[in-house]
Amino acid sequence: MATTAITPTSTRRELWHELAQQLRVDSVRATAAAGSGHPTSAMSAADLIAVLAEKYLRYDFDRPEHPNNDHLIFSKGHASPLLYALYKAAGAIDDDELLSLRQFGSRLEGHPSPVLPWVDIATGSLGFGLPVGAGIALAAKTIDPRPYRVWVLAGDSEMAEGSVWEAFEHAAHWQLDNLTVIVDVNRLGQSGETMHGWHVMSYAERACSFGWAAFPAVSPPSRTNRAGTARSCPIPTPRSPSSAAGETCESASPHRRRRQHGERTSSALRCFRATRSGRTKRPAAPTGKP
Ligand SMILES: Cc1ncc(C[n+]2csc(CCOP(=O)(O)OP(=O)(O)O)c2C)c(N)n1
Ligand SMILES: [Mg+2]
């Protein structure tokens, strides 16, 4: 495989950056209002989700039942504030609902659940989202042919779950080229550094060895890839599933160190309020008849 670097134009990069900042701000606002949540886990993936939402995701939030909608699965379900911030950016929920996160009776639970029409499955048990995502992708290839793509956001510590690699193997076997896993390589698990740290290529090479295409990405764009020069992997088949491992940073909050896992970040809230943008973004609708 020849690895591919993401090199957006400056204008588009600015758009992604602005959207990512908005997602971060709203993640922090929601968790601060709740008094709990996982703001840093949400913030680290904001750049990845901003690019996905602006450029790739095809989803009609007004018609969540549309069978051609893409599927977005937050396998790292504890980053739900980021998902809810995306819903707000897409105009699917309003600010009041965003700030109802984790309150009794709110649809915005601590982890995503299908009480929301845009959520396929309840996630939060790590290692669960990709196997289910592979199943949804397989359905589109076999029993109900559909043009949708399945996008799974996984944590880097989550990649230590064996079920993830079972799904990798099955997805390659079934040539699920409609499945993409995005790995948020923020270097940290619940209580410390992961086995592979920021070595994005470790994840990419593993994905390649399972017959997937891999696209290592560095984020934010100004930072260099600590993993060094990308090495080649065997060329995947045109029908390979794909993975994007993005180097990210939980210290997209003002704190270089990770705070207590799940702790709210009130000081981060103060910092990011200044950069908050009211702009909203609606991802493209899918095409085709239901
Ligand atoms: C199967 C399972 N084991 C343990 C947990 C508890 N847990 C919640 S978040 C977390 C750390 C996740 O780290 P990572 O996947 O890297 O996500 P990050 O928070 O860094 O984005 C753990 C161990 C869980 N949710 N599910
Ligand atoms: Mg992590």
User: In the chain, what are the domain boundaries?
Assistant: 9-254+266-270
DSSP string, 139-190: HHHTTS-----EEEEEETGGGGSHHHHHHHHHHHHTT-TTEEEEEEE-SB-S
Q: Which ligand is nearest to the CA of 127?
A: 1
The answer to whether 243 and 203 have CB atoms below 8 angstroms apart is yes
pLDDT tens, position by position, 38-64: 999 999 999 999 999 999 999 999 999
Cα torsion through 263, 266, 270, 276, rounded to 10: 50
The dihedral through the CA atoms of 45, 46, 47, 50 has a sign that is positive
| 39 Cβ closer than 6 Å to some ligand 1 atom | no
The pair phi, psi for residue 280, each rounded to 5°, is -115, 160
Best residue among 40, 153, 158, 257 to mutate for probing ligand 1, ranked by most atoms within 8 Å of CB: 158
Please state the separation of Cα 98 from the chain's center in Å. 18
Nearest to 98 by CA among 254, 260, 278: 278
pLDDT tens, position by position, 79-123: 999 999 999 999 999 999 999 999 999 999 999 999 999 999 999
**Nearest-CA residue for atom 17 of ligand 1:** 155
Instruction: Report CA(159)–ligand 1 centroid distance (Å).
Output: 10
| 184 Cβ closer than 6 Å to some ligand 1 atom | yes
CA distance 255 to 261: 13
| 110 Cβ closer than 6 Å to some ligand 1 atom | no
CA distance 105 to 178: 35
CA distance 75 to 183: 10
User: Among the atoms of ligand 1, which is closest to the Cα of residue 155?
Assistant: 15
Cα torsion through 229, 230, 234, 239, rounded to 10: -160
Which pLDDT score, from 0 to 100, does residue 263 have?
61
The dihedral through the CA atoms of 78, 108, 152, 55 has a sign that is negative
Angle between the 129-141 and 162-173 helix axes, to the nearest 10 degrees?
10
| 248 Cβ closer than 6 Å to some ligand 1 atom | no
Neighbours of 267 (CB within 10 A): 14
Give, as one character, the DSSP assignment of residue 121.
S
- Is the bond preceding 216 in cis, omega lying within 30 degrees of 0? no
Helix (H, G, I), strand (E, B) or coil at 72: strand
Which pLDDT score, from 0 to 100, does residue 256 have?
32
Which pLDDT score, from 0 to 100, does residue 252 have?
40
Q: Which ligand is nearest to the CA of 79?
A: 1
pTM given for the model: 0.85
Q: pLDDT under 70 in the chain at which residues? A: 1-10, 218-238, 250-290
| 155 Cβ closer than 6 Å to some ligand 1 atom | yes
Best residue among 164, 190, 200, 265 to mutate for probing ligand 1, ranked by most atoms within 8 Å of CB: 190
CATH 3.40.50.970 fits 9-254+266-270, yes or no: yes
